[in-house]
Amino acid sequence: MSELGEPLVFYVFAALAVLGALGVITLRNPVHCALSLAIVFVSLAVMYVLLSAPFIAVAQIMIYAGASLVLFLFVIMVLNPQLEIGEGALPGQALAAGAVGFALVIVVSLALVGGKLFPTLGPYTPQVIAQQGHTQIIGGLLFTDFLLPFEITSLLLLVAVVGVISLARGRNK
Amino acid sequence: MITLNHYTILAAILFAIGAIGVLVRRNPLVMFMGIELMLNAVNLTFVAFSRYLQNLDGQVFVFIVLTVAAAEVAVGLALIVAIFQTRANVDVDEIDSLKG
């Protein structure tokens, strides 16, 4: 990536991600919200490519944009919920939530600007990643250092599958 | 030059927008989308730190977060469908049967 190219790609897709996120929380029609969410997912996949993590980028597209979003759209189509009308339960709910979110961004930014990081750098520079292959390194870590979390994740997926099937069958059968 | 702070501040903005969405919206589907936004912001932080610390452990956890998010969406949407079968409207303010 050239010196000029990286900031350009970053700012374009960061702006797209923020606009898509704002669309998710402001648009009235849930289908439009889901499509805005797709913009966020794809922009973040581009970010992962910029951060030299191509495997994560592909997984992001396949799992989030592919599986999760299609499931969202299916459920929206099946349920066909009405558009939200009017304010929330509390007066000034949107304003208070906006203030909380703004304060969150300010606090995190202050912590970043004021804080200092004394890192011990690992061996995986972008050159090493390009040489060995990102997928190979992630796979190696997953099956050696992180075998226990990996197995627990597979158990979690099993529990989710059983739970979804029992929920979908309903209690009267 | 794009630094670590650029990515973390972008992630903070996305997380805050997701949190606002969960607080403001009353459609549980859109609230779930807010949760997805927050999970994605955390993933971005993980990957950005793993790039700048040159350590791929964080990306393994991104992979696990992806799996957990997929399971969460599947179970959550099944719950919403189950609630919708008993009442016509999906509005979180009206689902208060457990209220004392």
Q: What is the ipTM of this complex?
A: 0.90
Choice among A41-50, A80-89, B8-17 with the minimum mean pLDDT: A80-89
Choice among A42-46, A70-74, B81-85 with the minimum mean pLDDT: B81-85
Residues of chain B with pLDDT under 70: 88-90
pLDDT the model gives residue A147 = 93
pLDDT the model gives residue B99 = 76
A58 pLDDT above the threshold of 80 = yes
Task: Determine the average pLDDT of the residues in A7-26.
Answer: 93
Minimum CA–CA partner of B27 in chain A: A84
Minimum CA–CA partner of A42 in chain B: B40
Minimum CA–CA partner of B51 in chain A: A51
Q: How many CB pairs under 8 A join A and B?
A: 227
A11, A32, A79: which to substitute to probe chain B, counting the most B Cβ within 10 Å? Answer: A79
pLDDT the model gives residue A155 = 94
pLDDT the model gives residue B89 = 66
Asked if the C-beta of A147 comes within 8 angstroms of chain B's C-beta atoms, the answer is no
More confident residue, A165 or B91: A165
**Looking at beta carbons, which residues of chain A come within 8 Å of B74?**
71, 160-161, 164
**Helix (H, G, I), strand (E, B), or coil: what is residue B27?**
coil
pLDDT the model gives residue A129 = 84
8 Å CB contact of B34 and A24: yes
Q: Which of residues 5-34 of A touch B (CB under 8 A)?
A: 6-7, 10, 14, 17-18, 21-22, 24-25, 30, 33-34
pLDDT the model gives residue A32 = 92
A1 pLDDT above the threshold of 80 = no
The partner residue sitting opposite A63, judged by closest CB among B33, B66, B90, is B66
Minimum CA–CA partner of A45 in chain B: B44
Query: Percentage helix, strand, coil, to 5, in chain B?
Result: 80, 0, 20
Separation in Å, CA of A46 to nearest CA in chain B: 11
**Radius of gyration over alpha carbons of chain B, in Å?**
17
Q: B47-85 as b/e, with b when 16 or more CB fall inside 10 Å?
A: bbbbbbbbbbebbbbbbbbbbebbbbbbbbbbebbebbe
CB neighbourhood size of A161 (10 A) = 13
Q: At what angle do helices B4-24 and A5-26 cross, to 10 degrees?
A: 10
A69 pLDDT above the threshold of 80 = yes
**Helix (H, G, I), strand (E, B), or coil: what is residue A126?**
helix
With cut-offs at 50, 70 and 90, classify the pLDDT of residue A41.
very high
Q: How much is the pTM?
A: 0.89
CA distances from A80 to A154, B56, B74, B84, B96 (A): 33, 42, 18, 10, 22
pLDDT in tens, B61-81: 999 999 999 999 999 998 888
